Amino acid sequence: MLRPAYERSNLRIGVVHFGPGAFHRAHQAYYFDALLGKDASWAISAVSLRSPGVRDALKPQDGLYTLAALDRRTEFRIIGAIKELLVAPEEPEAVLARLASPEVRAVTITVTEKGYCLNAGGELDLAHPDVVRDLARPDLPCSLIGWLVEGLRRRRQSGIAGLTVISCDNLVDNGARLGRAVVRLAAERDTALASWIEAEVRFPRTMVDSITPATEDALRARVQAELGLEDTWPIQREAFTQWVVQDAMRADGPDLSSVGVTITDDVTGYERAKLRLLNGAHSTLAYCGLLAGHETVARAMADPALARLVETLMRDDIAPTLTPPRELDLDGYIQAILNRFRNPEIRHNLSQIAWDGSQKLPFRILGTVRDALAAGRPLDRLVLPLAAWMQFVRGAAHRGVPLVDPLAERLAALGRACTGIAAEDVHRFLALDAVFPPELAAAQRFRTAMEKAYAELQPS
């Protein structure tokens, strides 16, 4: 379907979105575009907190853009959900007026984790420069949290009901953390406002998923050739898309379930399934695939041995450690992941997935390992991505290739010290308590499995 399935002149703005980058336009805007075919009151006011780039590109196109869903057969769709484009520092009153509008009943957010101004404990950082500025000039906000608090203050002052605020960023416990940050900043201004927000505003947890490659000239040329359209900023993503929202929205929130969004009381279950099955398998492909000489996920999945390893790992080793939500068909989810990995239209470089291994592996793999160890389940396949990462680090260090990792210097020194003797090299890595918890590193069955896998993956 190329044209929107509704008359755009009839649209009314019902949602404000902060951070209208590529992911929002490929994901949340896609769902609201589908919802507008049923309910014209959910058009989007897209607000950039800093850059005017999206507004300047899309305003001449009346907010319209092309979405390409990449698969063996790519499908194109014209998205018309964005009715208004604002740049907050240039049009502060327009943004605040939207937030205080009775027609606006939801706010969605994709500003990345750093946009929340949280400290290491996940709470609002009152010393953050943007927060300090917001407390000094609350009528002219700077931070996301500042905009929300001032907009909600104006709603309360005008006697307008609260709304649903939906964080769509990959932030642990995103809804609860956002809610606490908003209430904390509000309390610094007015405790009565903070109490009103706690009673009237909902901050559901969410999970989002869809690979969204950056827009490049090749996509613009393809849109021009196949659709006959000149689109300054088309968007591309894989065909698969998922949005899971906690069943905690206000009654006047958008009916997202009618357009394929999963509404559940167990977002955590979906997050764990994604982290262990999707992300864990991704890391396995990255390190094992790089050792085998592959460059991309799709090429690694074309290797029969690697493809078998990943599928068996997911079905026989990872899935038994999960208690899936009742709405989630685990077998179907695993098959969908395997199909995504094989998508020839998505060039996902293994080297990029391999970045920041010291930060990713504890969450993607080690939790599964601990559960399997406690249950007396086999570890042979589960430790392969960990051993492959160790060999990856060792190889990069000996070749003088810089690592992209917060622990890059320590890892490079460790890798240079490795000699290829499995027991000694594995001991060096397991001593990294920033990666391996001491109680896991001390478990003899784990150490034995690690040494065996490391020796098997020894480069010839």
pLDDT, tens only, 38-90: 999 999 999 999 999 999 999 999 999 999 999 989 999 999 999 999 999 99
Between CA 403 and CA 277 the distance in angstroms is 25
**pLDDT, average across residues 34-38:** 97
Query: pLDDT value at position 186?
Result: 98
**pLDDT, average across residues 452-459:** 94
Q: Is the pLDDT of residue 2 over 80?
A: no
**Within a 13 Å sphere around the CA of 3, how many CA atoms are in the beta-carbon half?**
4
Query: pLDDT value at position 8?
Result: 95
**pLDDT, average across residues 112-134:** 95
Q: Is the pLDDT of residue 5 over 90?
A: no
**pLDDT, average across residues 99-124:** 95
Give the length of the chain.
Answer: 460
Q: Is the pLDDT of residue 125 over 60?
A: yes
Between CA 18 and CA 144 the distance in angstroms is 8
CA-to-CA separations, 187 to 122, 144, 221, in angstroms, rounded? 17, 16, 51
Query: pLDDT value at position 259?
Result: 98
Residue 1 banded pLDDT, cuts 50, 70, 90: low
Domain boundaries along the sequence of the chain: 8-265, 268-456
Condensed to tens digits (0 to 9), the pLDDT of residues 229-270 reads 999 999 999 999 999 999 999 999 999 999 999 999 999 999
Query: pLDDT value at position 172?
Result: 86
Between CA 268 and CA 206 the distance in angstroms is 9
Which strand ranges, in their side-by-side order, compose the sheet holding 75-79? Answer: 75-79, 65-70, 235-238
CB distance 167 to 113 below 8 Å: no
Tell me the whole-structure pTM to 2 decimals: 0.90
Q: Is 46 helix (H, G, I), strand (E, B) or coil?
A: strand
Average pLDDT, the chain: 96
Q: Is the pLDDT of residue 26 over 60?
A: yes
Between CA 397 and CA 209 the distance in angstroms is 33
Condensed to tens digits (0 to 9), the pLDDT of residues 380-406 reads 999 999 999 999 999 999 999 999 999
Query: pLDDT value at position 120?
Result: 84
Query: pLDDT value at position 287?
Result: 98
The CATH superfamily label for domain 8-265 reads NAD(P)-binding Rossmann-like Domain (3.40.50.720)
Nearest 10 degrees: Cα torsion 365, 245, 142, 96: 170
Q: Which residues pair with 18 in a beta bridge?
A: 47, 109
Residue 459 banded pLDDT, cuts 50, 70, 90: confident
Query: pLDDT value at position 347?
Result: 87
CA dihedral over 358, 361, 363, 367, signed as positive or negative: negative
Q: Is the pLDDT of residue 370 over 60?
A: yes
Between CA 63 and CA 69 the distance in angstroms is 19
Residue 3 banded pLDDT, cuts 50, 70, 90: confident
Fold of 268-456: N-(1-d-carboxylethyl)-l-norvaline Dehydrogenase; domain 2 (1.10.1040)
Query: pLDDT value at position 325?
Result: 95
Condensed to tens digits (0 to 9), the pLDDT of residues 259-310 reads 999 999 999 999 999 999 999 999 999 999 999 999 999 999 999 999 999 9
Q: Alpha helices of 228-303 — where are they, by DSSP H?
A: 267-273, 280-291, 297-301
